[in-house]
Structure 1
Amino acid sequence: MSRIEETIDISRRPDEVFTYLTDPKHIAEWEESAAAVRTLSEGPLGVGSRFQVQRRIGRLKVPMTMEVTEFNPPRSWHFHGVNGPVRSDLQGTIEPLDDGERSRLTLSVDLEPHGIGKVLVPLVVKPLVRKEIPRDEAHLKELLEVGAS
Structure 2
Amino acid sequence: MITVNESIAIDRPQADVFAYLGDPRNRVEWDSSVISEELTSPEPIEAGSTLRTRMLAVGREVTFEWRIERFVPPTGLTVASTSGPMETTLRIEITGMDAACTVTATISDVAVPLRA
In the superposition, the TM-score normalised over structure 2's length comes to 0.90
Identity between Structure 1 and Structure 2 (%): 24
The structure whose residues are more often helix, as a share, is 1
Task: Mark the structure with the bigger radius of gyration.
Answer: 1
Correspondence for 1:106: 104
The structure whose residues are more often strand, as a share, is 2
Structure 2 counterpart of 1:103, one-letter code: C
Gapped regions of structure 2 (runs ≥ 5): none
Gapped regions of structure 1 (runs ≥ 5): 117-149
Correspondence for 2:50: 50
Matches for 1:5-16 after TM superposition, within 5 Å: 5-16=5-16
Structure 1 counterpart of 2:106, one-letter code: S
* Cα pair 1:49 1:67 within 8 Å, conserved: yes
3-state SS of 1:82 partner: strand
- For residues 16-74 of structure 1, the C-alpha deviation after alignment (integer angstroms, 9 at most, x for no partner) is 10010010110111111100112110011101100100011254211101110001100
In the superposition, the TM-score normalised over structure 1's length comes to 0.71
* 4+ residue runs over 2 A deviation: 57-60, 112-116
3-state SS of 2:83 partner: coil
* Cα pair 2:87 2:113 within 8 Å, conserved: no
Q: In 1, distance between residues paired with 2:29 and 2:94?
A: 19
